[in-house]
Amino acid sequence: MLSQLLSFGGRLLGRGKLSILIYHQVLAEFDPMRPTEPTAAAFEWQMQLLARYFTPLSLTEAVEHLKNNTLPANAVCVTFDDGYLNNLTVAQPILAKYNIPATVYVATAFSQGNNMWNDRIIDLCGDPKRTELNTTQGTTMLHDWPSRLAAAQQLLKQLKYLPVAERLQAVDQLYQLNNATEYAAKMMTPIQVQQLAATGVTIGAHTHNHPILKSLDAKAQQQEILQSKTLLEQLLQQKIEHFAYPNGVAGRDFDEIAVNWVQQAGFTSAVVTDWGYSTASTPLLKLKRFTPWDNQPLKFHLRLLKNYLP
Ligand SMILES: [Zn+2]
């Protein structure tokens, strides 16, 4: 009953507005080192709720509707960043079950079997065999999950805005200091990206190395943007139309230099991580997104509806 009321209210509020949801991973089981990533069970009720009360569209359809100002009420797109293997193995079957179109933005460098720097840090700190972590600043004890999470968070914060090469070097050094070998690959290989595309999921580009674009000079930004597009087009033999800015906060993580290169590369849409909805007057190369993290359906529903409020 409440949900029906919300659905009705949502249809009124949600006219001409598009919400684009951001996901990264969908975990087969809860991971205490990644407490905010949805599990398969949570993702399933979220998709069920979208299918029931919202109007899920592919990004390509949504962009057409934005251009023509013909968006249906409660329009929503589902997107995933980075190219995690569990998008194929865990999320895709659920998306198919509820007939929900989705877009996965792939950072092409990681499909060569490397994990992203943040996952390498989280896996190292969350390794139950380790009881201490050596850093250049000393040794930290790792015991319960909160202490492991805190150690990982601190390292992530320290390294996030370093230039890519320095950041990778710092993570390599951390692995050496702790005598660590790489953990299981988490990203899709090129063949897995092809498999995902074959199920009907749209593949978008997300740069090659996932740098903070604003920290690069203009030429290097162009290179990162084009490289991911070209590699994916060669792999999938189709035009790659959609792009996601790494980290994605407009002004902080990228600026108009990147937007221009994205336009020149021929993308029809690009998404940011600034919250909110998009309308016919939102620039197509700066579509807004929104992360739903609630662990209860009603809260998720309300928060999603709230995203359509002016
Ligand atoms: Zn990303």
Band of pLDDT at residue 307, cut at 50, 70 and 90? confident
Measured in Å, residue 169 CA sits from the centre of ligand 1 at 19
Range(s) of the chain covered by CATH 3.20.20.370: 2-113+185-306
Q: What is the mean pLDDT of the chain?
A: 93
Measured in Å, residue 70 CA sits from the centre of ligand 1 at 30
Residue 160 has pLDDT above 70, yes or no: yes
pLDDT value at position 303? 85
Residue 2 has pLDDT above 70, yes or no: no
Measured in Å, residue 210 CA sits from the centre of ligand 1 at 6
Measured in Å, residue 273 CA sits from the centre of ligand 1 at 10
- Lookup result for tokens 């902080």: 252
Measured in Å, residue 203 CA sits from the centre of ligand 1 at 14
Instruction: Name the more confident of 273 and 13.
Output: 273
Band of pLDDT at residue 138, cut at 50, 70 and 90? very high
The arithmetic mean of pLDDT across residues 148-177, rounded, is 93
pLDDT value at position 162? 86
Residue 105 has pLDDT above 80, yes or no: yes
Measured in Å, residue 306 CA sits from the centre of ligand 1 at 25
How do residues 248-260 score in pLDDT, each as one tens digit?
A: 999 999 999 999 9
Measured in Å, residue 298 CA sits from the centre of ligand 1 at 28
pLDDT value at position 270? 98
Residue 246 has pLDDT above 90, yes or no: yes
pLDDT value at position 296? 87
Instruction: Name the more confident of 21 and 294.
Output: 21
Measured in Å, residue 251 CA sits from the centre of ligand 1 at 16
Band of pLDDT at residue 6, cut at 50, 70 and 90? low
Instruction: Name the more confident of 194 and 3.
Output: 194
Other C-beta atoms lying within 10 Å of the C-beta of residue 275: 13
Q: How far is CA 67 from the centre of its chain?
A: 24
Query: How would you class 204 by CB atoms within 10 Å of its CB: exposed for 0-12, middle for 13-18, buried for 19 or more?
Result: buried
Among 124-128, 161-165, 252-256, 269-273, the range scoring the smallest mean pLDDT is 161-165
Ramachandran sector of residue 48 (left: φ over 0; alpha: ψ -120 to 50; beta: rest): alpha
Measured between alpha carbons, how far apart are the two ends of the chain, in Å?
Answer: 25
Report yes or no on whether pTM surpasses 0.85. yes
pLDDT value at position 39? 95
Measured in Å, residue 15 CA sits from the centre of ligand 1 at 29
The arithmetic mean of pLDDT across residues 230-252, rounded, is 96
pLDDT value at position 5? 60
Measured in Å, residue 27 CA sits from the centre of ligand 1 at 17
How do residues 191-204 score in pLDDT, each as one tens digit?
A: 999 999 999 999 99
CATH 3.20.20.370 fits 2-113+185-306, yes or no: yes
Maximum distance among all Cα pairs of the chain, rounded to whole angstroms: 58
Measured in Å, residue 85 CA sits from the centre of ligand 1 at 14
Residue 230 has pLDDT above 80, yes or no: yes
**What residues contact residue 124 under an 8 Å CB cut-off, 6+ apart?**
130, 133, 152, 174, 175, 178, 180, 183
- Lookup result for tokens 């209860």: 296
Band of pLDDT at residue 33, cut at 50, 70 and 90? very high
Instruction: Name the more confident of 110 and 128.
Output: 128
